[in-house]
Structure 1
Amino acid sequence: MIRFSRTLSLEWLAVVGATALIGVLTSAPAAHAAHLSCGQTVTTSVVLDADLLNCPGDGLVVGSGGITIDLNGHTLDGVGLGAGILNNGFDNVTVTNGSNAAAEVQEFDYGVKLNPGTAGNIVEKLVIQTNEFAGVELDNADNNNRVRNNVIDRQSQRGVTVLGGSSDNVILGNTISNNQGLGIFVENSANNRLESNQVSGGGDAGVVLSGSSDNSLLTNTVGGSSDGAYVLELASNDNLVQGNSSGQNSDAALTVSGSTGNRILSNTFQGSGDSGIVLQSSDGSTVTGNDVSNNTGGIELSYSDNNLIRSNIANDTTGDGISLQDSFNNDLELNQANRNGSQGIYVVGIAASGAGNQLVGNTTNANLGDGIFVSKAVHTIQGNTARNNGSWGVFADPGNIDGGGNLASGNSKPGQCTGVVCTP
């Protein structure tokens, strides 16, 4: 309970301002212990005093804004219909667990469902499990809804869905595991932040953005998915993917398909069944500072133009460190592509004059194939280092541009380089 002195100082009023003071004095009353029933509409702050079991439809329905529903270590249990907690448009509602015992929301269609018009809601500290369509769903729910610090486990389909134009929401610090579908799915929604979630053991991809732009994926971890870790598809443009990690996923760690202008920065993607980063028909992205070692391939571009691939580590893959197929006007700068099972850097595709790729300052050592292999023309090869590779240091077809300053030694081919001049 908030207590006030009878006299408020002028200095205190100056700091908080009149608006903040009015907000404090008119805040909702403290939650009280309540014995509720399945499907009940809740219009005041409450603390549950018992489980609700075998609810035939919804568990609890939010009926007013500005309230707190504290499950207090109790269980909301359904029969496969409705939502455990349903909010059809009320703002600033907190659904939480104030007990040390687990508060479980289970066996509904949706664990928690925030429908159009909801804003400022908090869903936190719950165990949301064995629901049908999603553990938590935001459907056209905008403006600072926060889903945080929940355990979201074993849904029949998705862990968390954000769709229908939901924007400016935060999905933070959740443990999302063993869901049969996607871990987190964002569709046609913008300006959401997905941060520090742990997604594991899913039956589909870990985190998927579909037709969703200007979102931020920060410091999430995805492991053990039966598909890829992260997917950006269908014009998911101008997103930030930074500081994330992945391991032991069945497909590529990050696939960007049909999307432009994404920033992929300082991620660690390892142990994937495909490449670490894949760009397919995706232009104008920045891929810098990532570690994509120990995957089937490192960084792979196909039909993707005008991208910056810089200062990445693409070592110890079973395939090519960095490969470009029919992709043009890309800048490959200062990357490491060492000890790969095939080529360090592999480029194939005929570029028009002035549309070639720029290979500048990369290090490609100890690969089983060539350090750098550039087929067709017209690409620029400048200032790269290629030592101790199993074939050529640099192999370039006629017509490519020797930008000078390439270094090569210890490669299996006596000439060290062909198509460009290399010095030891």
Structure 2
Amino acid sequence: MLRILATLLLSAIALAHAAPARAQSCGDTITHDITLTANLHCTAGWVALYVPVSGITIDLNGYTLSGNRGLVGIDLQEASSVRIINGSIRGFWGGVVGLRSHKLKMQNVKLEDLGTGISLNYSYGAQVIDNNFHGISGPAISFGVPLGAGYGAAGSHYIAYNRITGAGTGIKLCGYDNGNAVITGNQLLKIAAYGIHASDGSGSHQVKGNLIRGIENTGIVLRGSRANVITDNVLQEGRLGIAMTPQFTGECKTGPLTSPWIRDNRIESNHILKLEGGVTLGMGMMDKPLVFKNQIRFNDIHDDGTGLYFQEDAHGNDARGNDFLGTSTPIVDHGAYNRY
């Protein structure tokens, strides 16, 4: 009995002297797992939470990390395998930004009233799953390999089941090394520019089962992008459904690609509805083949102004088997050797 009492007394003393968990402060450097215990609003400095260490979890715990356009919310610098979960981030110019920050996992987070939602450069293997984006003036989700002195692996992201409402661009993938993404099950609504934009050689993406509605410019843009598989998406209400644009923007590294050819893409079994134009191939600036060997097949292109528009630089594309119910002008072909 005396031994038990002594043990209980020592435990009580230890608990009495244990330091309580420290609440996070603006500008903290995060080197271990944290769980917010209250809202955190930051207005000074350059970042709310700075993360230079890999393998940690930031559990927002239902609270809001907020600030103004002069700050970044969470800055990952060469910090990989970071988890950000369960809360809200709002007000910053960038919600989560990172450089060489591989395997980010972000889930069940609301990102709103931001300049950019998530922006990672030279990073691979991000999982962005089941988040809400609202009121983003720039891209909601952006992965890039920009020009300059940077280096590092990139690509192979998994972007699934997110809801993006009101953004400049929904999902942006830029640069040759930034390929092989899976983009599935997302809802993109009321986007000002592009729903999904793959540019400067970023390609080999799987884009499937997304709802893209009310896009002011274009639902899916392939700009200097090859070998994508785009299937079972709904593109509805807006200007253009899909644009295949043979052009490099000059924003990101194009790797070994010296020409912005659009080729070897497969666009099948999509529902492209109530748009000014369904699918546009090429830019029409010249008549040499720049958009070729693409398959645009078995799509429902319904109630559009124009269904398929082949510009002069679209040659040898296979567009057989599409259904143009209710579309005013099913096909316009200024190119050569296209089949339909």
TM-score by length of 2: 0.80
Q: Distance in 2 between matches of 1:183 and 1:37?
A: 26
Match of residue 161 from structure 1: 119
**Aligned partners of 1:275 and 1:297 also within 8 Å:** yes
Match of residue 241 from structure 1: 207
Q: Which amino acid aligns with 2:276?
A: T
Match of residue 42 from structure 2: 78
* CA deviation vs aligned residue, 1:15-53 (integer Å, no higher than 9, x gap): xxxxxxxxxxxxxxxxx8423463xxxxxxxxxxxxxxx
Q: Distance in 2 between matches of 1:147 and 1:81?
A: 24
1:317 corresponds to which of 275, 284, 304: 304
Asked if 1:190 corresponds to 2:155, the answer is yes
Structure scoring higher RCO (CA < 8 A, sep ≥ 6) equals 2
Q: Distance in 2 between matches of 1:177 and 1:357?
A: 41
Asked if 1:102 corresponds to 2:63, the answer is yes
- Superposed CA RMSD: 1.8
Query: C-alpha displacement at 1:79, in angstroms?
Result: 1.3
2:21 corresponds to which of 30, 34, 42: 34
- Decide whether aligned partners of structure 1 residues 167 and 358 sit closer, same or farther in structure 2, where only a CA change above 3 A counts: same
Match of residue 86 from structure 2: 125
Q: Distance in 2 between matches of 1:171 and 1:80?
A: 28
| 1:177-216 alignment runs, 5 A limit | 177-188=134-145, 189-202=154-167, 204-211=168-175, 212-216=178-182
Match of residue 276 from structure 1: 241
Structure 2 segments unaligned to the other structure (5+ residues)? 1-18, 146-153, 247-261, 283-289
* CA deviation vs aligned residue, 1:59-118 (integer Å, no higher than 9, x gap): x2122xxx420103x122211432222111x222011134xx5333433611112111x2
Asked if 1:146 corresponds to 2:105, the answer is yes
1:135 corresponds to which of 95, 100, 106: 95
Match of residue 92 from structure 1: 55
Match of residue 324 from structure 2: 337
Please state whether the residue corresponding to 1:337 is helix, strand or coil. Answer: coil
Q: Distance in 2 between matches of 1:166 and 1:255?
A: 22
- Decide whether aligned partners of structure 1 residues 33 and 333 sit closer, same or farther in structure 2, where only a CA change above 3 A counts: farther
- Decide whether aligned partners of structure 1 residues 246 and 329 sit closer, same or farther in structure 2, where only a CA change above 3 A counts: same
Asked if 1:62 corresponds to 2:45, the answer is no
**Aligned partners of 2:227 and 2:266 also within 8 Å:** yes
Q: Distance in 2 between matches of 1:92 and 1:37?
A: 18
Match of residue 338 from structure 2: 357
**Aligned partners of 2:64 and 2:90 also within 8 Å:** no
Query: C-alpha displacement at 1:236, in angstroms?
Result: 1.1
* CA deviation vs aligned residue, 1:155-194 (integer Å, no higher than 9, x gap): 1x2111121x100111111111101211111112311111
Please state whether the residue corresponding to 2:301 is helix, strand or coil. Answer: coil
Query: C-alpha displacement at 1:285, in angstroms?
Result: 0.4
Q: Distance in 2 between matches of 1:80 and 1:154?
A: 18
Match of residue 348 from structure 1: 334
**Aligned partners of 1:169 and 1:192 also within 8 Å:** yes
Q: Distance in 2 between matches of 1:316 and 1:215?
A: 31
- Decide whether aligned partners of structure 1 residues 172 and 279 sit closer, same or farther in structure 2, where only a CA change above 3 A counts: same
Please state whether the residue corresponding to 2:326 is helix, strand or coil. Answer: coil
**Aligned partners of 1:309 and 1:332 also within 8 Å:** yes
Q: Distance in 2 between matches of 1:191 and 1:37?
A: 33
**Aligned partners of 1:105 and 1:126 also within 8 Å:** no
Match of residue 253 from structure 1: 219
Q: Which amino acid aligns with 1:110?
A: V
Q: Which amino acid aligns with 1:297?
A: G
Please state whether the residue corresponding to 1:85 is helix, strand or coil. Answer: strand
- Decide whether aligned partners of structure 1 residues 258 and 62 sit closer, same or farther in structure 2, where only a CA change above 3 A counts: same
Q: Distance in 2 between matches of 1:94 and 1:277?
A: 38
Q: How many corresponding residue pairs?
A: 289
State the identity %: 18
Q: Which amino acid aligns with 2:324?
A: A
Q: Distance in 1 between matches of 2:82 and 2:224?
A: 33
**Aligned partners of 2:23 and 2:36 also within 8 Å:** no
